[in-house]
Amino acid sequence: MAEIKYTEEHEWIVIEGDVARIGITDYAQEQLGDVVFVELPQVGAAVSKGDEASVVESVKAAAEVYAPIDGEIVAVNEALEDTPALVNTEPEGGGWFFKIKFADAAQLDGLLDSAAYQKFVDGLG
């Protein structure tokens, strides 16, 4: 089973070998409201942890999606270009944004597990 981690910026990361699939959490999509546009990164682009990698726009606001780890963008979810609402209907599934091939697995150690992320979100209320 794939390992899932979270960031305090409300991204989720599913680890699949040396590739991480990234999207925004259910909490994040609820805060944004109806998503109307997603700007995806370029495949082949190098990203560093904390860099803006993507942008999501909703009827309420625009928000950045940050790279949770260093690496290279190896895939993007092109379905979001035609159906950005997937971010709302399947935020932690089919609404993923991009995949990063990473070299330094130690960067994953600084990410939150499910229980820690839930505790973080509960503290925001």
Which pLDDT does position 56 carry in this prediction? Answer: 96
Return d(Cα 108, Cα 123) in angstroms, integer: 23
Ramachandran class of 74: left when φ > 0, alpha when ψ lies in -120 to 50, beta otherwise: alpha
The percent of the chain in helix, strand and coil, each rounded to the nearest 5, is 25, 35, 40
The whole model's pTM is what? 0.94
pLDDT at 23: 97
Phi, psi at 91, each rounded to 5°? -60, -35
pLDDT of residue 1: 55
Question: Any idea which residue has 């682009």 for tokens?
Answer: 45
Mean pLDDT, consecutive 10-residue segments, the chain of 125 residues? Answer: 87 94 96 96 96 95 95 98 96 96 91 95 89
Q: In the chain, what are the domains? A: 3-104 (2.40.50.100)
Residue written as tokens 């942890």?
A: 49
Strand ranges in 10-50 using DSSP code E only, listed in sequence order: 11-16, 19-24, 35-39, 46-47
Question: What integer pLDDT is reported at residue 125 of this predicted model?
Answer: 72
